Structure formats: structure tokens, C-alpha cells
Amino acid sequence: MNQRRFHFNGKSWLLGQKTYIMGILNVTPDSFSDGGQYNDLGQALMRAEHLIESGADMIDIGGESTRPGHTPVAMEEEWARLAPVIRELKHRWPEMPISIDTQKAGIAARAVAEGADVINDIQGGMADPQMMATVAASQAGYILMYNRSAAFAPGKVDVEEMATTLRSQVARAQSEKLVTDRILVDPGLGFAYGVEDNWTVLQNMGKFVGIGSGLLLGPSRKRFLGVVTGRSEKDRDWATAGVASIAVGFGMDVVRVHDVLGVRQAVLAADRWWRHDR
């Protein structure tokens, strides 16, 4: 049986044996659930330490909010937010993989030069035509997200169209010499979806399995969970853990979340059920 691996910056994750957890560290003033909490370097490092102690397998650092209605940030401002955090995390926890959440190839190039391991691109290469080539020229991994607004896909979600678009984006990445085993695909929950569309995507996640090396999901605290629970953004972590545990059975390899400790417990149980020989 062929083993799937996600390769990034000289490291690799064996997929299919466990669920990996990416902990979110937003160094922004306006992210939807934690904006302004970690702008200070000291606060950001405390947050990183908490994520690591809670069991994160990777830390995803964002310097520009991507919430609905966000204000775009100039490259130099985004880099000023990210650079000190990347450098200090690499100094303090050199073995902890770091992902950078950015749409800009210029930021990606600077980040990998500072030791970042993965580039998490919510536009899947559509915002910056140099992004895929930039990542390919490094050894970094790439998270390629399907973004409905970028794909100009109004109306009810069409999972077949999503899968076709993701395959096309991966093929484009391959044409830039970015090999598949360095790519995770992300169906982009919450990005220009109607509330019910998110559930449709979750129920059909199997259609995205095998497009990249693995499948990443980012359900954390999103609005579709608030509609179900009636809870505000900061009070949706239990619902996030519930979705994460269910998604393990539909082919999810990596989950990107705010509450690493709670989700870790949920996916440990889900891994025991879905990934253990029965």
C-alpha cells in the first residue's frame, strides 16, 4: 500500500495515520475572533507557547485578516507584523514547523528565507501569479485553498466544480514545478459560502481526497457553526471540535483551529475510531 506524505522544508508528515493540528496565531488587529489579542510580540510568543503545549503540530501565523469585509494590508505592513514573530519562534522552538498565511508571493519569499516551512494561500495562487513559482523555488510546502470569491462561483455550492477547480490549480502548480507531495488542498469553508453550503462541502469531502498529498480543513469558529449553536465567535470551540472529529472519517488529514487542546482530544478519539484496525 502506498503511503501518502506531505513534504515541507526537509520535513514530512505521514498522512492517514493520525490527524495533524495546525494552531492559529493571528498577529492582526482585525481577525474575526481574535483580532488585536496578539499584536504585541510578547503576547504572540505566549500564544505560540500555549499552542505548542496544547499539542499543535504546526503554527499558522497570519499578518493580514481574511475575514469577510477585511481591509487589504500593504506588503511592508504585513511583513512588519510577521517578521519578528517568525524569527523569534524559529529561535525559541526551532523544531516547530511554521506556516505563513499570506496571499502575496513577496511575503512568501521573505518568510521562507527566514525559515518558514509552509505557505498557506487562501487564494490558491489566484491573487498573485508569482505565488506558485515562488513556493516551488523553495522547499516549502503549499496549502492551496479553493476560494469561491476568487473562483467567481456565485450561487449554491457545486462540489464537482470545486473538485475540478482544485485539480486545475494543482495542475498549474505542477507546471510551476511544485510537486503534489508538497501540496495540501483546502476546500475553503466559510469563504463566500452560504451557511448550508458548508455542510454540503463537509458531507462531500471525499471528492477532494487525492487531489493533493492530503486534505486540510479550516472550520474553526466559523459562522455556520454559530448558526447551529447560537454562540458567538469565541464560544464555538466545542462545535469546532465536533466538526473536526466527524471530518476525520471523511478523509481530513490536517485541521486548522484556534483551540488546539480541545480539538486534540476530539481528534485523538476520532483517530482511534476511524484509523485503527477494527
Residue 222 catalytic?
yes
Summarised one tens digit per residue, pLDDT across range 124-167 is 999 999 999 999 999 999 999 998 776 655 668 899 999 999 99
Nine cell digits for residue 119: 505557505
pLDDT digits (tens, 9 = 90+) for 45-87: 999 999 999 999 999 999 998 766 667 889 999 999 999 999 9
d(CA 103, CA 119): 9
Q: pLDDT for 92-127, tens place per residue? A: 999 999 999 999 999 999 999 999 999 999 999 999
Q: What is the pTM of this model?
A: 0.93
* Cα 238 to Cα 275: distance, rounded to the nearest angstrom: 22
In CATH terms, the superfamily for domain 17-273 is: Dihydropteroate synthase-like (3.20.20.20)
Among 207, 222, 236, 264, the one annotated catalytic: 222
Query: Residues 110, 148, 236, 256: which is the catalytic one?
Result: 256
Say what the pLDDT of residue 266 is: 97
* Per-residue model confidence as pLDDT tens digits over 253-276: 999 999 999 999 999 999 999 998
- What are the domain boundaries of the chain? 17-273
Q: Is 10 exposed, middle or buried (0-12, 13-18, 19+ CB in 10 A)?
A: exposed
40 pLDDT band, cuts 50/70/90, is confident
